[in-house]
Amino acid sequence: MSEKTVPYKIYLEEHEMPTKWYNVRADMKNKPAPLIHPGTKAPMTAAELEGVFCAELVKQELDDTTAYFDIPAEILSFYKMYRPAPLVRAYCLEEKLQTPAKIYYKFEGNNTSGSHKLNSAIAQAYYAKQQGLKGVTTETGAGQWGTALSMACAYLGLDLKVFMVKSSYEQKPYRREVMRTYGASVTPSPSSDTEVGKKILSDFPGTSGSLGCAISEAVEVAVTTEGYRYVLGSVLAQVLLHQSIIGLEAKAAMDKYGIKPDIIIGCAGGGSNLGGLIAPFIGEKLRGEADYHFIAVEPASCPTFTRGTYAYDFCDTGMICPLAKMYTLGSGFMPAPEHAGGLRFHGMSSTLSQLYDDGLMEARAVGQTEIFAAAQQFARSEGILPAPESSHAIKGAIDEALKCKETGEEKTILFGLSGTGYFDMGAYEKYNDGLMTDYIPTDDDLAKGFAGIPK
Ligand SMILES: *Cc1c(COP(=O)(O)O)cnc(C)c1O
């Protein structure tokens, strides 16, 4: 097919949209290590996990052999309100860069929450509702997950209690108001509403909070409140499963025009958008059907893949959650303030960690001034104002396109544009005023986090 026939935006027809999620673990020879109980060190059983999570989600979490899961009809009709997400050919960016590379991005910011997180929020809220629960609890760092979940809970009539990392509760009052508009209750974390919150406040007076603290608080409330369970927006295998919709749609759209990507790039926080984007492609690679170059881009201030260690660790600061084997900086690692707030988690999806450890994926860390330079270049050429998190993927794509310019190679690059940056204008203001700095932890800073990893 001639290149001219590729439109700026490729949308699937409604009947071409995926109706199943893909579970990449089914095709992995080396399965991700199981979650283990912090006390007994035995793999967590379904019964143990069901005290914290919804039963159907526990099934998905523990299933590493079923390749495809039907998407329930109610979730599919919710998806149709904002999906398919467009696959966009970045003709204008290519022109600016004068690169022979062909750049495509999958845009997940076309919904009110502004990111891919809605794809899993609606699924998790749906299963909670099916189970007859009254509500769910969660944490939110930068606010995208809390916003997405409040939309999903409002749609299904579920209560939602959000623990929002205190620094972002204060810096992003409008994020907070969006959640409240959809009916969620929002508490700054650490708070004195929970035992773990009180302990963190007394151990670290004046702390502005972290995702790990907020997770501990949300879990405590879920397990001590009748009719509630806890839901998490990233890291878990079930979240990667739901996010596979991103990659499945992208692949279907590319297949429709006979396009095969050479390089696939995503930003990595807990790994859900990257894991979702690469899922069907890495499945082909694992089955030996095709080859792709996968690149994870993370912030230099929270360099989980590039400087972390692969070990069993806690997912939360309060150390009440199961242990996951993952690339980690230690649950006590407190990243310096960083504007890509959604990428500040100390650990990484155990699925992606295993794939990375098996050498199937490359990872890079980039400082935030370079990230905002890439974000600005993208906004000025492609029009979309990107989330700082997503701009890590943009930076990766621009760098690869510039390499092609040097070598003359016409590679096809696909990257995940996970969301929009309208709530991040404080960060853009810092960048525009020349006040943005790069925080890179020293080896000593990292050693403190590593010291807290259980032996
Ligand atoms: C939360 C978020 C991320 C990071 O989370 P992952 O689980 O790594 O995908 C990336 N981009 C945006 C826009 C986000 O909201």
What CA–CA distance (Å, rounded) separates 447 from 303? 13
Among protein residues, the one whose CA lies closest to atom 2 of ligand 1 = 342
pLDDT in tens, 392-428: 999 999 999 999 999 999 999 999 999 999 999 999 9
115 lines ligand 1 (CB under 6 A): yes
383 CA to centre of ligand 1 in angstroms? 20
- Report the candidate in 219, 135, 209, 149 with the shortest Cα–Cα distance to residue 178: 149
Q: Which of 38-42, 71-75, 228-232 has the lowest mean pLDDT?
A: 38-42
Q: Is the pTM for the entire model greater than 0.75? A: yes
270 lines ligand 1 (CB under 6 A): yes
What pLDDT sits at residue 338? 67
What CA–CA distance (Å, rounded) separates 425 from 432? 10
- Report the candidate in 409, 382, 411, 408 with the shortest Cα–Cα distance to residue 394: 382
Checking if the pLDDT of 77 tops 60, the result is yes
Checking if the pLDDT of 2 tops 50, the result is no
3 CA to centre of ligand 1 in angstroms? 32
168 lines ligand 1 (CB under 6 A): no
Q: Given ligand 1 and candidates 378, 418, 423, which is best to mutate, with the most ligand atoms within 8 Å of its CB?
A: 418
pLDDT in tens, 200-250: 999 989 888 888 889 999 999 999 999 999 999 999 999 999 999 999 999
What pLDDT sits at residue 345? 86
Determine if the peptide bond prior to 84 is cis (ω within 30°).
yes
End-to-end CA distance of the chain: 56
pLDDT in tens, 245-282: 999 999 999 999 999 999 999 999 999 999 999 999 99
270 CA to centre of ligand 1 in angstroms? 7
SS3 70: strand
Q: Where are the alpha helices (DSSP H) in 187-289?
A: 195-203, 211-224, 237-256, 272-286
* Percentage, residues of the chain above pLDDT 90: 89
What CA–CA distance (Å, rounded) separates 258 from 62? 35
220 lines ligand 1 (CB under 6 A): no
Determine if the peptide bond prior to 322 is cis (ω within 30°).
no
Residue carrying the six token digits 């988690």? 345
Q: What is the mean pLDDT of the chain?
A: 95
Q: Which of 47-51, 302-306, 318-322 has the lowest mean pLDDT?
A: 318-322
240 CA to centre of ligand 1 in angstroms? 12
What pLDDT sits at residue 1? 43
Confidence of residue 300 (pLDDT cuts 50, 70, 90): very high
Q: Given ligand 1 and candidates 107, 238, 267, 348, which is best to mutate, with the most ligand atoms within 8 Å of its CB?
A: 267
